Homo-oligomer: A and B are copies of this chain.
Amino acid sequence: MKSREIRLAARPQGAPKDADFEVTEVEVDDPADGEVLVRNELMSVDPYMRGRMNDVRSYVPPFQLGEPLHGGVVGRVVASRDAGFAEGDWVLSDLGWREVARVEGSRLRKLDPDAAPLSTALGVLGMPGLTAYVGLLDIGEPKEGDTVFVSGAAGAVGSIAGQIAKLKGCRVIGSAGTPEKVAWLEELGFDVAFDYRQTPPREALRGEHVDVYFDNVGGDHLEAAIGAANQFARFVECGMISRYNDESPTPGPRNMPMVVTKRLKLQGFIVIDRRDRAPDFFRDMTQWVREGKVRYRETYVDGLENAPRAFMGLLAGDNIGKMLVRILNTA
């Protein structure tokens, strides 16, 4: 079976560009025993993928040059030699960035298309949702009445983190990069939402006393949050998207001594370490979404060949909510 896939052609220097990616057609073999053939339909692009494009061993190995990229994807079984899966089943796998994936059944999760829209498996009910859930609740430990500041608040993770904070009785401040995003945050019930391209975070946080900072951005957002932090504030260090395209290291917060004097806790985390929380997350989030207490938005880009552009757009902040690519198979 023929399949197009996106490969890493060059390691991006700074912001990724078209030439860092290439589309290649390959032949996919029939599944062996225990394997399943999946036609991918909807794939995720996520900020963490930028780090994997560098030749640096981090919590996961880097993507390899000349190899297809991978990441979360929803697809449909076209052939199965695993008794757990039948043709037509919807499944979630980690073999995105390609039209057809041959994958061991053990690496698939079956999805029920009647339980929730399939796209949610990549967003609010998937990895980004779990990230928001464990980050905010387990590291942020918000208490009723706390002030919670979320940067990148109109993104897939930030928008969920902010809404969970509202559910927990917190005052919630969100930053985003366009007036449209800010308007959405206001719709979602954020108490304060600001466009950091108009108002620097430091200015926007003047007079605020932040108990929990959910950091998706780093940089001047992080510095501003340290400056506005209450004593004993918790910093959920989830991501630093402002830094991912840095070509050389840029200076960190100038007010680090306040980490001592204010007794701050800054804690980094990666969602794959917290899979034990998935059952709680799934139970709570399913209910919150059903009751309309947590809402989500998705931004779609069409065509596998446009996945690199979707990814570049994600890093530039083009998305509201979850950024997804409809694969529109030619396979």
Contacts and interface: CB of A to CB of B under 8 A. Distances in A.
Contact of A252 (B254, B261, B269): B254
Contact of A266 (B243, B249, B266): B266
Given A252-B251, A254-B251, A256-B253, A58 B261 contact: yes
A251 B251 contact: yes
Interface of A: 51, 58-59, 218, 222-223, 231, 237-240, 243-244, 249-270, 273
A244 B266 CA distance: 21
Contacts of A237: 259-260, 264
B263 A265 contact: no
B255 A266 contact: no
A200 to B, nearest CB: 15
A76 B263 CA distance: 35
B268 A243 contact: no
A252 B265 CA distance: 16
A6 B183 CA distance: 57
Copies of this protein chain in the complex: 2
A172 to B, nearest CB: 22
Contacts of A259: 237, 266-268
Given A263-B267, A265-B267, 12 more contacts: A59-B231, A223-B252, A237-B264, A239-B260, A240-B260, A243-B257, A249-B254, A259-B268, A262-B268, A264-B268, A265-B266, A266-B267
A14 to B, nearest CB: 15
A123 B219 CA distance: 38
Contacts of A238: 260
A239 B238 CA distance: 25
Contacts of A58: 261
Contacts of A265: 265-268
A60 to B, nearest CB: 9
B256 A243 contact: yes
Nearest to A264: B268
23 contacts: A51-B261, A59-B231, A59-B263, A218-B256, A218-B257, A237-B264, A240-B256, A240-B257, A249-B254, A249-B255, A250-B254, A252-B252, A252-B255, A252-B256, A259-B266, A260-B269, A261-B268, A262-B268, A263-B267, A263-B268, A263-B269, A264-B268, A267-B267
Contacts of A51: 261
A259 B257 CA distance: 16
Nearest to A234: B267
A268 B273 contact: no
Contacts of A263: 59, 267-270, 273
